Amino acid sequence: MTGDDFIQIGVISARAPDGTALPAQPIFIRKTPEAEIAEEAALQPVAKIFAAKFAQYLHETRKIGAEAP
């Protein structure tokens, strides 16, 4: 992967015959304008979920802090 730009699209991990997980390996695709558009489109819904969960976390920790003696 030298000289070209790549986008990591995931990870994959196989299992050994005894069932233990082998080290995870990243999966890459070559960066193209189409891949960058798809990456942005895929990340926006995830970002909204993380933002909502973080807001919930802040609300709950502030509520606990206000209730503490």
* 14 neighbors 22 (Cβ within 8 angstroms): yes
Q: Let me know whether 40 and 57 are in one domain.
A: yes
Cα dihedral 39/41/45/48 (nearest 10):
90
Q: Let me know whether 37 and 64 are in one domain.
A: yes
Domain count of the fold of the chain: 2
Q: Let me know whether 41 and 58 are in one domain.
A: yes
Domain interval for residue 43: 32-69
| Predicted confidence (pLDDT) per residue in 10-69, tens digit | 999 999 999 999 999 999 999 999 998 988 888 889 899 999 999 999 999 998 887 766
| pTM for this entry | 0.49
